[in-house]
Structure 1
Amino acid sequence: MFRPLSLFVGLRYTRAKRRNHFISFISLISMLGIMLGIVALIVVLSVMNGFHTEIQARILGMASHATLSNPYGDMSDWPDLLERVRKHESVIGAAPFVELQAMLANGSDVSGAQLRGILPREEDQVAELRRDMIQGDMDDLVAGKFRVILGRELAAYLGVGVGDRVTVVTPQVSATPIGIMPRLKACTVSGLFAAGMSDYDRHAGFLHLEDAAKLMRLGSGVTGVRLKLTDLFEAPRLVRDIAYDLGGTYRVIDWTQHHRNFFAALRTEKRMMSIILFLIVAVAAFNIVSTLVMVVTDKRPDIAILRTLGASPARIMAIFMVQGTTIGAVGTLLGIGGGIALALNVEPIVAGIEGLFGVHFLDPNIYYISKLPSDLRARDIAWVAAGAFLMSVLATLYPAWRAARTDPAEALRYE
């Protein structure tokens, strides 16, 4: 269908000056619309990818790639289990933990918290708590001292700082002469951390593993073992292999299951934002329809002459498809170039705008992420470019079909 003559005439029509300047104006607007739509789409997708990556890194800085636990009770064989899982080729690090839900109290200030018993040196293998420490040190967690590291927001809510004492109320109960009483233990705040995620900074704390086990009456047992894997994106497959190698006696949960709803919400948000922004490209692409309809009307005598010289309807259709596709292709290429350039420099550009006008788009006092992270991905660029180009081609079909149906005798009657 797209023979050399169709390509030559179609490109000639695209470059030629028209008697009707309004047609040229509409063509330019269509091209600019496609370009701006693609720029906006690429930049927004890149920023959303950046936020997704940043949030994921912060979550995995505190959480583990996977956890092993015993569905039938505590794990007293955890030292042997650590040695076994560390020999697995997909495991980078492993560390035991004790999980407990507790109430923390300081005077009249009370807050629920999720406390985790850890071994500081082992914890370094699976999490980035040491990196997030803002006061104190992880090594201050010593067995028998009952020291606790709290999230910054949790400590602020309770009104405590390093060196202060908080009362830990556990769900375990003790029988006393006056009845059943919850277990209470005074702990000293030895450090504060800020992970940049409210779920952790407001509701999490850390104890030494042995202290947490005593509070939960686990003896020498633990709640489970946390794992760090070679490829976090392959975690679902890798944990299945690990569970199989361990004989299927342990329950294995990876990070995608722990935070399934959160990451599903992020994916849905990105998908919906992509669809909304793609409508900008669609509107611009279908402006090509109005452009070509006016071009066909303007070129009716030319079409009639080509038909009388032997040009087939298919060739006439191809000429106008070439013209419309060229507009779409140029707009797509300009949009890709502009989108890549802007996405790669969005952080300094935003910083420059903030400095120039004295504003903060992401106030560091409100948002944990005070900069616009950008993660440009070739896959996003490819499908945006392909989608924009495909819509441009589809937009040419109706006007080109109208041109192919032009009756030469009717078109030349008044010429």
Structure 2
Amino acid sequence: MGYPLTIAIRYLASKKRAFVSVGTLFSTLGVTLGVAALSIVMSVTGGFKEQFREKVLGVNAHVLVLKYSLEFREYREVMKKVEKVPGVTGVAPFIINPMMVTHGDRTATGVLLKGVDPDLMPKVLDLPKHIVGGSMEGLRKPGAKPPEKPNTPAANGTSSPLRDLQQRDAGSFLDVIEDQIRRDRDALDAGAAPATLDAGAPAVANAVPPAPAGDTTPDGGFTSKLPDDDDLPASVDPDPCKSPEQVAALPGLIIGKSLSTQLAVTIGDCVQITSPMVGMSFGGSSQKPPIAKQFRVIAVFEAGFDQYDSKLVYTDLYEAEAFYENGDSVTGVEMKVDDIDHAREIAANIDKVLANGVYHTMDWQELNHGLFTALLIQQIGMSFVLALIIVVAAFTVVATLIMVVLDKRKEIALLKALGAKDSAILRIFLYQGGITGFVGTSLGLALGFLGCKGLGAYAFPLDPKVYFISKLPVEVRPTEFLITGGIAIVICLLATILPALYAAWLRPSDGLRSD
């Protein structure tokens, strides 16, 4: 490097005029603050992305196999096929639907009831790691079996009394109409006027009798008296949650911590789950009320993601299937892979194995595309805005170097007169700008690292209902720090090119000429 580096260091620490060293100090300070702010923001946005990724994958699988149908009964055959795909480490069926959970006078709506296999689920989900109270023991009752689809008259083709009555009445009415049309046609052929429907028409079977004539008010008028009490017989128990023996026999339920707080439930409490949709049937001139079923809370989990802790509950797969009254049918099959970054390629391989147009796969990135895309856009946008601070600091470096060049015109001219080349003069100011950028970047990275550690130690609280997590996440990644430092140094070096070229192109006669 030779004398250009020595001269550059002397110019940085010049004592002749104070504004030069002060300008260098402010340039370095500007770069320091810009690098520190950018590194902290990148660590925080990266922490959000990592936390969301960890929370999402903690309670969700890496790849899903779904079916273009309301029924998915052959899921066991599908599981045998997909578990042979390279990269798949765990396979489990699941069923999920929105429900309403009630405990006492408290109700939570929009809760997802997910049925899982207690034996296969731990190989796919990290739910057991998130349990903070109770345990998964008892989630499946001993001897539990998949439910069978109920046989209904509409399903097996048998008739019902109501349907028989409707068909009989409809047939009788059509017979009357056809007979009337036939008589009218015969009358027209004979030249007579067509008969009316009442003239000679046979009586319709089970015809409605005429309304009674006269006063139908009973003696004493219309009066009624309700009983003083409306108690049910002792043999009928309207609330099985009141009986400890019945509660102990209820199917198990794993509930999120936020939801347990909202409903004020603890381990062993009885809750009622109601579906406003499951059970509704309008086919076959029949209507069933929504289904309600009681469950016993056996565990509480905390995934750290409020969207899951307040809107997700787990139960046994067979209990959920029986609840939905659709037999041994599931929503889909979920899988865990050995490398989540290659989940999309593994999902494509599963598509090839199940290439019949009936099934489709979704990886975790596709399933949460909106969330992670928003986080990426936020990280890029904030990093770009804060990078402008470094650009502004680079302008102060330019201004400082220009002032140094103007102040050192005679020294530059003297160096050239003594034989210094233009490239040597150019390196003097490139070194000066590079040292300013390097020192400012180093201090900025150190300050940013300390700031990240401070934020992590303080655990700045957040509103989980707004940010979905309870504290500010900070993820310090050496790669991001190195990228930030490299960008800052490059910006500072680019900023020094213009004043360095001006100094290199300065002619000795111009520099030695008296002002």
TM range (shorter): 0.7 to 0.9
Q: Which secondary structure state, in structure 1, belongs to the residue aligned with residue 123 of structure 2? A: coil
* Aligned-partner Cα distance in 2 for 1:364–1:170: 31
Query: Which whole-Å deviations, capped at 9, do the CAs of 1:170-226 have from their partners, x for residues lacking one?
Result: 523246999523431222232333222222122212222112222333312211111
- Tell whether 2:340 aligns with 1:232: yes
Superposition pairs of residues 182-261 of structure 1, within 5 angstroms:
182-191=289-298, 192-247=300-355, 249=357, 250-261=359-370
* Aligned-partner Cα distance in 1 for 2:251–2:409: 89
- Tell whether 2:434 aligns with 1:325: yes
Which residue does the alignment assign to 1:169? 275
Query: Which whole-Å deviations, capped at 9, do the CAs of 1:314-364 have from their partners, x for residues lacking one?
Result: 54333222222221122223333444455466534x37xxxxxxxxx3169
> What TM-score, normalized by structure 1, do the two folds share?
0.86
Which residue does the alignment assign to 2:183? none
1:101–1:372 CA distance, 2 compared to 1 (3 A):
closer
Which residue does the alignment assign to 1:356? none
The alpha carbon displacement at 1:272 in A equals 1.8
- Aligned match of 1:39 in 36, 45, 49? 36
Count matched residues: 402
* Aligned-partner Cα distance in 2 for 1:390–1:380: 15
Unaligned runs of 5+ in 2: 145-249
* Aligned-partner Cα distance in 2 for 1:45–1:150: 35
Q: Which secondary structure state, in structure 2, belongs to the residue aligned with residue 376 of structure 1? A: coil
Query: Which whole-Å deviations, capped at 9, do the CAs of 1:267-317 have from their partners, x for residues lacking one?
Result: 122212212222222222221111111101110111222333444545433
1:177–1:105 CA distance, 2 compared to 1 (3 A):
farther
Which residue does the alignment assign to 1:142? 140
Which residue does the alignment assign to 1:180? 287
- Tell whether 2:163 aligns with 1:64: no
Unaligned runs of 5+ in 1: 352-360
1:29–1:252 CA distance, 2 compared to 1 (3 A):
same
1:7–1:72 CA distance, 2 compared to 1 (3 A):
same
Superposition pairs of residues 16-415 of structure 1, within 5 angstroms:
17-106=14-103, 109=107, 111-142=109-140, 145-161=250-266, 162-172=268-278, 173-174=280-281, 179-191=286-298, 192-247=300-355, 249=357, 250-340=359-449, 343=452, 347-348=456-457, 350=458, 361-362=460-461, 373-414=473-514
Q: Is the 1:140–1:190 Cα contact (8 Å) retained in structure 2? A: no
Query: Which amino acid letter does the alignment assign opposite residue 408 of structure 1?
Result: P
1:146–1:180 CA distance, 2 compared to 1 (3 A):
farther
1:180–1:90 CA distance, 2 compared to 1 (3 A):
same
Pair member with larger Rg: 2
The alpha carbon displacement at 1:100 in A equals 1.4
What is the percentage of aligned positions where both structures have the same residue?
A: 31
Which residue does the alignment assign to 1:358? none
Higher helix share: 1
* Aligned-partner Cα distance in 2 for 1:127–1:275: 37
Which residue does the alignment assign to 1:13? 11
1:36–1:104 CA distance, 2 compared to 1 (3 A):
same
The alpha carbon displacement at 1:77 in A equals 1.9
Query: Which amino acid letter does the alignment assign opposite residue 85 of structure 2?
Result: H
The alpha carbon displacement at 1:252 in A equals 0.7
* Aligned-partner Cα distance in 2 for 1:294–1:409: 20
> What TM-score, normalized by structure 2, do the two folds share?
0.70
The alpha carbon displacement at 1:125 in A equals 1.1
The alpha carbon displacement at 1:31 in A equals 1.5
The alpha carbon displacement at 1:37 in A equals 2.3
Q: Which segment drifts farther, 191-200 or 90-99?
A: 191-200
Higher strand share: 1
Q: Which secondary structure state, in structure 1, belongs to the residue aligned with residue 401 of structure 2? A: helix
1:338–1:177 CA distance, 2 compared to 1 (3 A):
closer
* Aligned-partner Cα distance in 2 for 1:108–1:55: 29
Q: Which segment drifts farther, 171-180 or 396-405?
A: 171-180
The alpha carbon displacement at 1:262 in A equals 0.8
